[in-house]
Amino acid sequence: MKVLAIGATGGSGRVAVSALLERGHDVTALVRNPDTAGSFGDRVTVVTGDAVRDSDVERAVHGQEAVVVTLGIHENPVRVRLRGPARTPLDVRSRGTRTVVDAMRRHGARRLIVQTSYGTGPTRDRLPARYRLMFRALLGPQITDTERQDALVRSSDLEWTIVQPVNLTDGDDDEATVSDGDVSSWAVPRRAVGRVLADLIDRPEYAGATVAVS
């Protein structure tokens, strides 16, 4: 398939790109800074642009069959909570996802994989109290935006799957448990999540589903 990756230079996004290539997909990456995409090599088509800019996303989605979205704010969460993000809009998840959904509708792309966070949407009530307190204190505005993102995806008429990892780590393990909400642990390597994102492109039976990754 022709697959567009948005958020491709983040931890799980970068792994997803590599895993998509391993599976034989034709991958395009939308990135703000092309210098950060150097490790992709010639096998990935790099489009320079911003996920919250309609014209950039329109150009990137044209001709694609599927889109993987791993948008987020890759800055110190304490600084973001106190001062706001320095380089990324605070509402990047919902704004970027809305732009993607609109462009996919116009161009007839159907398959959408979106990474959000465990403890939002249908898993909100499954989050332990200690994590709910941390979310509220440290990540409140970002979680609120993730909830908006979740609602946008669910209200679309696309063949979407929402992927909700638990706490992300930088470990090397690429094994993960995928479920409809139950978790086997409270941490998962970004590497494992990236591979799940790529796997789901070829799993139409998960369309309209939310999966937890642990």
User: 187-197 pLDDT, tens per residue?
Assistant: 999 999 999 99
Is residue 38 pLDDT above 80, yes or no?
no
The Cα 158–Cα 112 span in angstroms is 7
CB proximity list for 102: less than 8 A, separation 6 or greater: 54
Containing 134, the helix (H) or strand (E) segment is: helix 129-138
Query: Are 114 and 179 in contact, with CB atoms under 8 Å apart?
Result: no
**Structure confidence at residue 53 as a pLDDT band (50, 70, 90):** very high
Is residue 39 pLDDT above 80, yes or no?
no
Containing 63, the helix (H) or strand (E) segment is: none
Q: What is the CA radius of gyration of the chain?
A: 16
Query: Are 151 and 114 in contact, with CB atoms under 8 Å apart?
Result: no
Average of per-residue pLDDT across 43-57: 95
Task: Report percent pLDDT > 70 for the chain.
Answer: 100
What's the pLDDT at 87? 86
> What CATH architecture applies to the domain 2-213?
3-Layer(aba) Sandwich (3.40)
Pairing of strands 178-179, 209-213: antiparallel
What's the pLDDT at 132? 85
Per-residue pLDDT of 165-183, as tens digits, reads: 999 999 888 889 999 999 9
What's the pLDDT at 141? 92
Per-residue pLDDT of 59-105, as tens digits, reads: 999 999 999 999 999 888 888 888 888 889 999 999 999 999 999 99
Closest by CA to 164, choosing from 211, 125, 129, 128, is 211
Side-chain half-sphere CA neighbours of 122 within 13 A: 15
Is residue 206 pLDDT above 90, yes or no?
yes
What's the pLDDT at 82? 86
pTM of the model: 0.94
